[in-house]
Every structure is written in structure tokens, then in C-alpha cells.
Amino acid sequence: MNPLLPGIDPLVWQEHAWRNRLHSLFLLAVMGGFLALLGWLLWGPDGVWMMLMVGAVGVAFGPTISPQMVMRLYGAQPLRRAQAPELFEVVETLSRRAELVRPPEVYWVPSSMLNAFAVGTPEQSAVAVTDGLLRQLNLRELSGVLAHEISHVRSRDLWVMSLADLFSRATSSLSLFGQFLVFVNLPLMMVYGAAINWFAILLLIFAPTLSALAQLALSRTREFDADLNAARLT
């Protein structure tokens, strides 16, 4: 039995972890498939290769985005250990249990909202908590929230969701571009009696919605898994 979570058999946990990975991979493949299909509708085989290149860029450069840069975009300010020693102790303890390469850098967001978020990879990451969260939660409750965020870092969920967001945004952009082309050319096609591919038109209209639904399902899967991992860490 796992000493961190004695109620769950290790084999059951491993089965769940693999099922979650396969589910996530399937949903990413679905989103990538929509993107490639739109590329094919607009530009043929060359469009498919273009979309594959978009995916390759996301895979290659997604993990290289600096956590510090992301934190600056959110207006987060770095904390020093002397300012919140107990908070740093919790982050370091959870990071050791999660077997991260190094503990995340800790940031503070001057907001009354109850929120926390993490960015980065197990090799380089950062976690931010809002002022409202620090004021409203006790240390035990805060530990649960931080365990959830560190679980996201450990599982590289942030990179996965960034890739999914790239696919979703690219699908929406191609859909709008395709609908514009249809709007411009449809009158000419009707005048000259050209065949209208209604399947392609419907795909252009509904592909962004279907891709967004896949992204939501992927997000739910990663959130549930982070909750279970957080239970193991705490």
C-alpha cells in the first residue's frame, strides 16, 4: 500500500494513472485532428503539413516559456522566505514528496480573490497565491491548495493544457478564415452551379465548438488527477 495514501492499492493507482494519460492523449489527438482536417479543407495536403508544424512548434517551445515571465504578466510579486517562512516550508515539503527537481518559486498576487495557480515544469516552475487566499485559509487548507498546484507541475499539466489551448485557438482562427472564404465565394458558386460541399461548411462552423468541448474534457481530466495526486502529497 502507498504510505502517502493508504486507502488506495498501488495497482489501482497505477491503472488510474495510465488510463488518465491515455484519455488525455486521445483528447489531444482529437483536437489535433480537427486542426489538421481544417488545414486539409483549406489547403489540401499542404495544409495538413502546416498544421503538423504548428503542433511541433507547440511541443518544442511550450516548455521553454519562462515561469517568471508568466508571473510578471499576472502582476505577481516574488516572495522571500523571511516574508512567509511557513508557506515556503509547505512548498518545499510538498515538492520533495512530489519529487520535483527543485521547489517552485513562490509569488504573491495583490488580489482579494481566492485563487492560486502554478506555471512551468518539474525542472523550473513557480506557484502564486493571492492575498485573499493567504488571509482566508489556514495553513492546513493552504497546504491542500498548494498540493493541487504542485501536482499540476509534477504531471506537466500546464504544458499539456497550453498545447490544447494552442490547438483550440488555431482551430478557431482557421474556422473564421474558412467561413470568410465561403461567404465570399458562395454567391459565385451558386451562380455558376458549382457543387457545394455542405459537410465542409458545417465542419468549418462547428469545429471550434467541438475542439473547445474536447479541451474542457481534457481540463476536467487533469483537474481530477491533480486532486488525487494532492491527496497523496498531503
Strands 77-78 and 105-109: antiparallel
User: Is residue 116 classed as helix, strand or coil in its secondary structure?
Assistant: strand
Q: Which three cell numbers stand for residue 42?
A: 483549406
Report the residue count for the chain. Answer: 234
Nearby residues of 2 by Cβ (< 8 Å), 6 or more positions away: 8, 10, 13, 232
Q: Sign of dihedral through CA atoms 98, 101, 107, 111? A: negative
Q: Is 86 a catalytic residue?
A: no
Catalytic residue from among 15, 89, 105, 149? 149
Residue 38 exposure: Cα atoms within 13 Å on the Cβ side: 30
Catalytic annotation, residues: 149
